[in-house]
Structure 1
Amino acid sequence: MRILLVEDEKYMAEALAQVLKKNNYTVDLALDGEYGLDCALSAIYEIIILDIMLPRINGLDVLKKLREEKIAVPVILLTAKGETEDKVTGLDCGADDYLVKPFKTEELLARLRALGRRKSELVPEGILSSGDIELNPNTLDIYCGKKTYKLTLKESQLLELLIQMKGMIVSKNSIIDKLWGFDSEAADNHVEVYISFLRKKLLSLNSSTSIQTVRGVGYLLKNGRG
């Protein structure tokens, strides 16, 4: 697996790169946001580890540019800020996961394994459909009529899970297990954030398909208005 690590603290970046290489990852290193963006736009990476506080171009702007260019590679954000608002901002920009500094390298490796595992387990061949929407898990595109929207990996995985359940209720615990892994530290608010993102995108597509909350139980995909 080829990884792009964008981190301006040289000592930390080189140390992380060595750890990743020892764990059989191929790593390219960028020490500023401008060079990191140039590398990322090549679309040759399977995962990007991206610091938020970067010289020249900050990590969030790098991430926004990637999503604008329809590059859907999974991104793990590194941030020194642990407040919920900062985490949500990063996720809202299209990140798939985040780590708050300082963190243990074992946790980063676990997140990388989880992203790789979730992608391989949840991405099937072909188009999935429900009501008036279609999802291509391979390109992360959602279609409704003539409109198209690019999802992040986590958004695509969540929508795929809801579609596969065919109108049955999916609990938050089940979503966490499928998308983050049973041994992750993901909590209910992670699920709520991605449910909110998906609802906004369904609305922007003017879809009649909606995600319904069953209080105290979970979520289900409902087709048709009313």
Structure 2
Amino acid sequence: MRDVALVALLVLGLLAGCAGEPTTDAPDPESVDYPDGFGQEGITDTETASETHRQSLEEPYRVAFRLRQIDARGAVTTTGNVSVRPDDRRYHVEVDQRAATETQGYERYHVDGAVYVRTSSAQESEYERRNESFSRPVYADRETFVTMLADLSLNATEVRVENGTELVVYRVTNVSSPRIGSTTEAANGTVLVDTGGTIRSMNVSFTRTSQGIDRETTFRYDVTTEADVEIERPGWTDLAETGDSAQE
């Protein structure tokens, strides 16, 4: 079950989706007062950019993502949804991974200084409860989020104003190849960052070749702030109190 969490978390940090009509009353990218960790040529410091983004999310918010990877072995699709209320220190994370022959799931719920975890496959679910301080999740794994930011090569091409918010539009120029012997090509996409440091959106695609296998990857991630985000306690948290497992 660690695999589903790892695969899902490897794509953390890629955020997408902003609604609203753009206007032309926006500054040039050269004149923007960029938030800490960001600059005209992209992310200047990944640790700082990650922390700036996390700290900027003060209002209740939702995150949704979809990752699709295709290679000679078939397609794997991972989807996730995150709901967070910083005001009462609660969040709920759900991840679902589907391949041709297997489905796996991962779920986290945080409330009152405790986190409840469920990992599931087609045959069995496992539950866990542990004490853990609240921290606003940009997904659920900060380390992986920082790593993913570091892999992106970006360039600011324009600034938009949507619903009164300035958004810097970054174009993806490359996605680095973190493994020895791997190469990345056909990388493209966009990242939107507001001037408060929130990474509002990302839509990225690229092809990576490793050990002779080509893998096409597409990823879309959206974050929205909503005052009426509701988070209900999942029924399975009672099982997590005792660390039970259950056959599906």
Report the TM-score when normalising by structure 1: 0.21
Bigger proportion of residues as helix: 1
Report the TM-score when normalising by structure 2: 0.19
Higher relative contact order (CA 8 A, sep 6+): 2
Q: Which has the larger radius of gyration?
A: 2
Bigger proportion of residues as strand: 2
